[in-house]
Structure 1
Amino acid sequence: MASPRQRRPRKPLATIALLAVAILLTGCSSPSGSAGPGDPDPVAAASATKGSATKGSAGRSGESTPVYSYAKAVRETVWVDTGLDSDGDGTKDRVAVDIVRPREPADQGRKIPVIMEASPYYSCCGRGNEQQKKTYDADGRPTGFPLFYDNYFVPRGYAFVAVDLPGTGRSDGCTDAGGPVDIQSTKTVVDWLNGRAHAYTTHTGTTPAQATWTDGATGMIGKSWDGSIANGVAATGVQGLKTIVPISSISTWYDAYFSQGALLAGSAPTPAALIRTVETDATGVRCSAVNRPLGDAAAKSGDWSPMWAERDYLAHADKVRASVFIAHGLNDLTVRTKEFGAWWDALAKNGVARKIWLSQTGHVDPFDYRRTAWVDTLHQWFDHALLGYDNGIDRAPMADIERTPDHWTTDAVWPPKSTATTTLDPGRGTEAGVGTLGTDPGDGTGTFTDDPEVSEADWAAHVDEPTKAKSGFVTGTLAKPVRVSGAARVTVTATATTTSANLTAILVDLGPATVRDYRSENLGISTLTTKNCWGANTAQDSACYQKTVADTTHVTSTVLSRGWAALGTADSATKVRPLTPGKPYELTLTLGSTDHVVPAGHRLALVVAGSGKGLLYHGAERPTITLDLAHTSLRLPVVGQPNWPAT
């Protein structure tokens, strides 16, 4: 989820503090699909220009090209007054806003758009696969910006704006993990870019800083916590925010910590614990008033509360004016796929222009699994949204989906229009724990005992075996491929032997395949020592990044979707209640959104089990749970009309 580090959550998958190797940027290989090292040649670039990199050319076809000097770009910091006093020191918070922008447009009296990233990671933990941090000269002027956005887009006529979230980096105040302080502070930066807020040239000074160099058109981008802030700011409906690109990002923070009352492993136990990894208040005293409610009982119980409501961007999706380009890993166990699926559906309901990329990776940036295509697509997206170019990106396929490592397909609309819900019923098999899955009504019971030392990989690998830790239900061999697209739902009627119980439901593709190894330390990628370059360089800010390749593995079973719930939420979706042992409860688990093709010759399985290793935090109780199969079903979003085999 909103991890302080951006890769390698492998010890175990449940750990949020993603480990990283610090890598020095030393030189570049020959650039691939890039402007290459050094400043672009304005004359050569201008000769290839199809459309000027200025707002004045909005509506013309073409693309922005690197006609401006990156070496001579203006690099400055302003401090934006947020209007808040989150740390209670009697002084309004100011957030540090580091800016790099081409000098030439302002000198010529022309205004430019902004690409902005607001992050808590710039000074504590670093950004991207190589853990880059901001750097400054002796006078505090920004000299190095993480990631390629500045190197690539500034020569093309954009400003890049990097905002330290409150309480992090050089900003005042206290971050509140995607809450009102984070969102209001970042929104105020958009307001300042549009002439509606105040900023100053120094941290404590009174000399105003005005954004006279921009037309106010802003696009936000970011991964994990950063992208979550983009979602939240878009949900305010702020004017001037034209587009957002959330990568592996949160749409409602409750779902980053809980799934229907069940406490998810893979995150800091509370938002307060997450905050402590990024805030500059090392003692925690200055921001204790903000941190305390984010770590108290309300943050640990699984109950919905006002704290979670403040961090629920879905509730305000009807305010979104910006277009949205989502990228997410279908095997992301840090920010789980329910986050993008619910956001996508809410945006669709409200007619928001949108696009999506879904990879086989875990919590990984597209720059590190499909670099050339990502930079090209992002370039077109920003050119269209911020410069107004009619480059066709709005008419391109809506969805790009990775089917096998590095093999992608597209869909004009996602999910496809022919997607419909199919209901499959689990049935009792000939052995305990091994049942059928098909269109015939279910009967009998399935019983398992929660064993938190058994993983989802174990359940999937032994789905055909009578094991005590799960109940498995399997279709016959498929004669034709079946494409699952969207969020499945599993309704169970379950009886537990204890006063609390967790449930997990997973869908499994049973059959041989080569997939990205998302369980590996690098979550489906391998980082090479060679580099390629994406924009212009200075001595302090390289545009060259280590190449990556797919990290693959051969499997005989693939988990394609997951869902979790506390059985105690059966009577109330907002509160976890104690169970009465022996009493049946009906509960529907919503699984994470997915898009997966189960090939012909494979089988589809549903596994229902307990906590599972590395998936959920669990208590001391080890309930035995009995499923009433006559009142248990799977509702599956399937493209087309599959012919299910007889069971």
Structure 2
Amino acid sequence: MNRLWIPVSGLFLFLSPPSKAAEVKIPVIEEGEAQIIKELEDSDYWIRHDLWVETEFDSDGDDMLDRMHVSVTRPTQTDTQSLKLPVIYNSSPYFAGTAGGDESYFWDPRQELGAEPPQRSAAPAVERKGTRPIISKRHVKDWLPRGFIVVHSSAPGTGLSQGCPTVGGNPEALAPKAVIDWLCGRGKGFTEPVGGEPVEAYWSSGKVGMTGTSYNGTIPLAAATTGVPGLEVIIPVAPNTSYYHYYRSNGLVRHPGGYLGEDIDVLYDFIHSGGDEQTQAYCDCNVRDELMQGNQDRATGDYNDFWQSRDYLNRIDGVNCAVLMAHAFNDWNVVPEHSIRIYQALRNNGVQAQLYMHQGGHGGPPPISMMNRWFTHYLYGEDNGVENDSKSWIVRENDEREKPTEYPDYPHPWAKDVLVYPVSGSPQRGRLQMVPIEEPSTETLVDNFSFSGESLAQAEFTDHRLIYTTPELSEAVHLSGTPRVKLRMACDRPAANLSVWLVSLPWNTKNNATITDNIITRGWADPQNTKSMRESEPLVPGQFYDVEFDLQPDDQVIAKGQQIGLMIFSSDRDYTLHPTPGTKLTIDLQQTHLSLPVVGGTLHFKPTNEAVQNE
């Protein structure tokens, strides 16, 4: 029996779906896209019901397989016309509510490097929201009128789903796999979280696509790594593809933009909305306290097996569905490398993959038309040629997100690495030139987290950063790829933060300017990890070390008349830990350079009084 659950005084009743739904042809496809069908826009003729799907794991220690809470929204015609339709599936740990915006339970970043962090406060209880049978209404209005069924599920340990939140652990891949197995007739669904009557997805065609943004975009990739049959296509938007890359950078404790002091155990508390008091206590003890706090290592930031198990690049060989990655080059919450690294690995594995990137911040899905072509092709089998489209779609500066420019691939095939070298100038600005300096030269900066990176980049005179700029560009420069910095440095203490920004100068101070107008890209590293990401080695004060690392990938056109600046500093106020100010970093300029991925392979500068080679 099909059930439409309605809450009545704490009880749940079910009603039969409407019986007078018009007969319609589904789908209606024009120019390779599923069209909106007028008869499917009326929500009075949608069937909504929920159930629990049994998984293959027991993460909450109750000796029973965990069940995931699932909700379904489908056209009434799936019953009245016995239609079998493809599914758009969205899963999330956020649907039932979170711990909110109170950051009092975050870690205090005011911590000496290498020291054990101060204890953090307990998180507030999550106020659960939402009522059955609707888990979420996301994506329904976009896809149900076009002839798709929309399914939602709460992630393990959240809402009415059983289990523990593991934040990147195996259950977060196996839970959506179980739902897809059920949608394809292989799994078990029930009317209740314990016991209950069996429920079958008789209305599903057995073809599933997934999408979502941020954490909700991570889950489709997690499901895809299992290779589950029936998952035909995923469109992850700004997905977190590695929790180490989210909370660390090259051995350094580094917080996501806007969430200073967050770590993986904080995210656990933020989403843990499921379970009774006994289950929550079990999960807190075994997952948060023992597993996460016991392995996340905020003292050194080193890589370990715990972090390795939460990096989906290590499971990428399991992906066999089509993938449209979407991200932003100015996303400093989930930085762009998360999608770029996965896209490149998929392409290397021969998986059908394309990339959509824009110039904004966190989130931002591809145009609905692009998504439609993908879902229509892979879920309805329409031969619309989407698999032959350009591999890279990038929204150019000042263009609308709905109008990306297409390129053969990312990085741009014409991009070549161009090396530029610093020339002394502190505490003001030094120069970047195309040839190494001939004489030994060093410059020193003094760490002080009190100053933001933006203020340091704009300062005319300060000893808290070193900055080197090219002459003004005589032609616009198109950067496409991953800049890389190599520097030789010494420190007067055993540990130090190391931060590098690329900026476009002069700084845009107009009223409508944003920080992304001037920040090209950024990167962070721990000099203690030059030999190994898994084991820090204390610095010998005064000894020089070679440190080389990637900055975040980018695709940006730097306007004619601007200057490209390399800024080196220590603590990044909005991203790193805040040790006591005063640490001195000394940079050997003769052994330092920046590699820029320039389309065309040449930088052109306006003539200056200084002899600067540009060939």
TM-score band by shorter chain is 0.7 to 0.9
Deviation at 1:565, TM superposition (A): 0.6
Q: Give yes or no for contact 1:493–1:585 (8 Å, CA) kept in 2.
A: yes
Indicate the residue corresponding to 2:281 in structure 1.
Answer: 285
Q: Give yes or no for contact 1:70–1:151 (8 Å, CA) kept in 2.
A: no
Q: Give yes or no for contact 2:89–2:151 (8 Å, CA) kept in 1.
A: yes
Alignment counterpart, residue 165 of structure 2, candidates 161, 175, 181: 175
SS at match of 1:404: coil
Deviation at 1:588, TM superposition (A): 1.2
Residues 16-95 of structure 1 aligned to structure 2 (within 5 Å): 52-53=26-27, 61-66=32-37, 67-68=39-40, 69-95=42-68
**1:430–1:561 CA distance, 2 compared to 1 (3 A):** closer
Range 496-505 or range 152-161, more displaced? 152-161
Indicate the residue corresponding to 2:186 in structure 1.
Answer: 196
Residues 199-238 of structure 1 aligned to structure 2 (within 5 Å): 199-238=189-228
Residues 123-522 of structure 1 aligned to structure 2 (within 5 Å): 123-125=96-98, 135-136=130-131, 140-142=132-134, 145-147=136-138, 149-266=139-256, 267=259, 269-280=262-273, 281=275, 284-287=280-283, 288-292=285-289, 293-300=291-298, 301-366=300-365, 374-397=367-390, 398-404=392-398, 406=400, 409-415=404-410, 417-432=412-427, 434-442=429-437, 443-462=440-459, 465-511=460-506
Deviation at 1:60, TM superposition (A): 9.1
Indicate the residue corresponding to 1:98 in structure 2.
Answer: 71
Tell me which structure has the larger Cα radius of gyration. 2
Measured in 2, the distance between the counterparts of 1:437 and 1:227 equals 39
Q: Give yes or no for contact 2:224–2:319 (8 Å, CA) kept in 1.
A: yes
Indicate the residue corresponding to 2:103 in structure 1.
Answer: none
Which amino acid is the alignment partner of residue 391 of structure 1?
N
* TM-score, with length taken from structure 1: 0.79
Q: Give yes or no for contact 2:99–2:269 (8 Å, CA) kept in 1.
A: no
Indicate the residue corresponding to 2:546 in structure 1.
Answer: 586
Range 593-602 or range 506-515, more displaced? 506-515
**1:639–1:457 CA distance, 2 compared to 1 (3 A):** same
Deviation at 1:116, TM superposition (A): 0.9
**1:110–1:403 CA distance, 2 compared to 1 (3 A):** same
| 1:417-461 CA distance string (max 9 Å, x none) | 433332323332344452221211135123211111222212322
Measured in 2, the distance between the counterparts of 1:389 and 1:290 equals 45
Range 472-481 or range 342-351, more displaced? 342-351
Which amino acid is the alignment partner of residue 265 of structure 2?
A
| 1:104-145 CA distance string (max 9 Å, x none) | 134333311111111011111499xxxxx9743xxx333x73
Deviation at 1:81, TM superposition (A): 0.9
SS at match of 2:367: helix
| 1:449-486 CA distance string (max 9 Å, x none) | 11112222123223xx3421111111111111111112
**1:578–1:63 CA distance, 2 compared to 1 (3 A):** same
Measured in 2, the distance between the counterparts of 1:391 and 1:428 equals 54
Measured in 2, the distance between the counterparts of 1:572 and 1:555 equals 34
SS at match of 2:86: strand
Q: Give yes or no for contact 2:501–2:567 (8 Å, CA) kept in 1.
A: yes
**1:126–1:421 CA distance, 2 compared to 1 (3 A):** farther
**1:409–1:379 CA distance, 2 compared to 1 (3 A):** closer
Indicate the residue corresponding to 1:522 in structure 2.
Answer: none
Deviation at 1:234, TM superposition (A): 1.4
**1:574–1:421 CA distance, 2 compared to 1 (3 A):** farther
State the number of aligned residues. 546
Measured in 1, the distance between the counterparts of 2:203 and 2:531 equals 56
Measured in 2, the distance between the counterparts of 1:452 and 1:430 equals 22
Measured in 2, the distance between the counterparts of 1:480 and 1:201 equals 65
Indicate the residue corresponding to 2:104 in structure 1.
Answer: none
SS at match of 1:192: helix
Structure 1: give runs of 5+ residues left out of the alignment. 1-40, 128-132, 367-372, 518-551
**Higher relative contact order by CA 8 Å / sep ≥ 6: 1 or 2?**
1
Q: Give yes or no for contact 1:495–1:627 (8 Å, CA) kept in 2.
A: yes
Q: Give yes or no for contact 2:189–2:198 (8 Å, CA) kept in 1.
A: yes
SS at match of 1:245: strand
Measured in 1, the distance between the counterparts of 2:99 and 2:528 equals 40
Measured in 1, the distance between the counterparts of 2:425 and 2:457 equals 19
Indicate the residue corresponding to 1:559 in structure 2.
Answer: 519
Measured in 2, the distance between the counterparts of 1:79 and 1:582 equals 61
Q: Give yes or no for contact 1:190–1:218 (8 Å, CA) kept in 2.
A: yes
| 1:179-234 CA distance string (max 9 Å, x none) | 11211112111122122221212221242212221122111111111111112221
2:563 equivalent to 1:603: yes
Alignment counterpart, residue 574 of structure 1, candidates 527, 534, 538: 534
Measured in 1, the distance between the counterparts of 2:412 and 2:237 equals 25
Deviation at 1:392, TM superposition (A): 4.1
Which amino acid is the alignment partner of residue 63 of structure 1?
A
Deviation at 1:331, TM superposition (A): 1.9
- Identical-pair percentage: 29
Measured in 1, the distance between the counterparts of 2:593 and 2:528 equals 19
**1:446–1:386 CA distance, 2 compared to 1 (3 A):** farther
Q: Give yes or no for contact 1:260–1:566 (8 Å, CA) kept in 2.
A: yes
Which amino acid is the alignment partner of residue 144 of structure 2?
V
Q: Give yes or no for contact 1:490–1:635 (8 Å, CA) kept in 2.
A: yes
Deviation at 1:329, TM superposition (A): 2.4
Q: Give yes or no for contact 2:476–2:557 (8 Å, CA) kept in 1.
A: yes
Q: Give yes or no for contact 2:422–2:593 (8 Å, CA) kept in 1.
A: no
Measured in 1, the distance between the counterparts of 2:133 and 2:162 equals 18
**1:282–1:452 CA distance, 2 compared to 1 (3 A):** farther
**1:431–1:333 CA distance, 2 compared to 1 (3 A):** closer
**1:556–1:255 CA distance, 2 compared to 1 (3 A):** closer
Measured in 2, the distance between the counterparts of 1:229 and 1:174 equals 15
Q: Give yes or no for contact 1:79–1:199 (8 Å, CA) kept in 2.
A: yes
* TM-score, with length taken from structure 2: 0.83
Measured in 1, the distance between the counterparts of 2:507 and 2:464 equals 24
| 1:59-102 CA distance string (max 9 Å, x none) | 99453432435322221112111121111012211110111111
Measured in 2, the distance between the counterparts of 1:197 and 1:311 equals 26
Which amino acid is the alignment partner of residue 275 of structure 1?
Y
